[in-house]
Amino acid sequence: MSSPLSRVLITGGTRGIGFATAEHFAARGSEVLLNYHRDDVQAEQARAALTSSDAVARVLRADVGDAASVDQMFDTLDGLELNVLIVNAAATAFKPLLETGRHNLGKTFDITVSGFVHLVQRAVAVMPDGSSIVAVSGFDAIRALELHGTLGAAKAAMETLVRYFAVELASRNIRVNGVSPGFIDTKSAQIYADKAGHDSPQSEWARQPPLGRLGTSAEVAAVIGFLASSEASYVTGQTLVVDGGLTLR
């Protein structure tokens, strides 16, 4: 077994894949720092759920699409050492590209691209050699998914940045990887389904992957945990697809 990782910062860490990832690391003895944007109640519920099982957890409010807000978050940590950074937060307007405004593009890319770069810049300053970074992408980066043009383009850029960061940080043995989930049973998936006018993801999307079901947040979290662990010590610059075979068709 790999050794426990001591401190993990997860953006968008209070729900969905982010919270499942927090549970994964907390169960293995890591201190988890849960970043969130707006929902103080949800954040406190997430923190309480983790600490009820004796995990060490903190919540950190910041808009990862705003550099000053990210700086403030890191300043509150006062140089606290990080071993793992999980970049999971995302937001977009689900619109056809022909109806997408500059402000929609700006917000999505501020979070997924500019925000990713700035988070890594701040994090590596307090990371020891041998640390790990994992970015959460999505299969809209490699397949045209309805109303996902803006987010898919941003996630594709993120995957490119993963490769470049992996090269730039290799001298410090800081590994940078990505994970690309397919259809995962989350509230965000339901929001997208509603916006696109689809039925429940369970009924409509579960038939599409060869495995015949939606994935779970815990399954994605397990892959993130693997990529961040010493068991993946020779893996860097890769984006691992976790989609039940969806993109094979």
pLDDT tens string 94-135: 999 999 999 999 999 999 999 999 999 999 999 999 999 999
Kindly give, in sequence order, each residue whose CB lies less than 8 Å from that of residue 215, ignoring residues fewer than 6 positions away: 181, 182, 183, 184, 185, 209, 242, 243, 244
**Residue 52: which CATH number?**
3.40.50.720
- When pLDDT is averaged across residues 6-18 and rounded to a whole number, the result is 96
* 229-244 pLDDT per residue, tens: 999 999 999 999 999 9
Reported residue count of the chain is 249
pLDDT of residue 204: 76
Residue 110 lies in a domain: yes
In what helix (H) or strand (E) does residue 132 lie, and over which residues does it extend? strand 132-136
> 1 lies in a domain?
no
Domain membership flag for residue 98: yes
Q: How many domains does the chain have?
A: 1
Task: Find, among 95, 188, 187, 144, the residue nearest to 103 by Cα.
Answer: 95
Taking all residues of the chain, what is their mean pLDDT, rounded to a whole number? 93
Q: Looking at the domain assignment, is residue 147 inside a domain? A: yes
Establish if 101 belongs to a structural domain: yes
User: Poorest-confidence range of 80-84, 117-121, 143-147, 174-178?
Assistant: 143-147
- pLDDT at residue 5, rounded to an integer: 58
Question: Helical H runs in 52-96?
Answer: 67-77
Coil vs helix vs strand at 165: helix
* pLDDT surpassing 80 at residue 149: yes
The pLDDT value given to residue 53: 84
**pLDDT > 70? residue 83:** yes
What pLDDT does 206 receive? Answer: 87
Domain span at residue 60 reads 7-241
Flag whether pLDDT at 1 surpasses 50. no
The answer as to whether 248 is a domain residue is: no
Mean pLDDT (whole number) for 46-69: 96
Q: Percent of the chain, pLDDT > 90?
A: 87
- Residue 185 CB contacts under 8 Å (≥ 6 apart), including other chains: 201, 202, 214, 215, 216, 217
CA separation for the pair 70, 66 (Å, rounded): 6
What pLDDT does 188 receive?
A: 67
pLDDT in tens, 181-209: 999 987 766 665 665 566 665 667 888 99
Asked if residue 2 belongs to a domain, the reply is no
pLDDT given for residue 3 in this prediction? 43
Tell me the whole-structure pTM to 2 decimals. 0.93
| Average pLDDT rounded to a whole number, residues 145-149 | 94
The answer to whether 247 touches 182, Cβ cutoff 8 Å, is yes
Task: Evaluate whether residue 249 is within a structural domain.
Answer: no
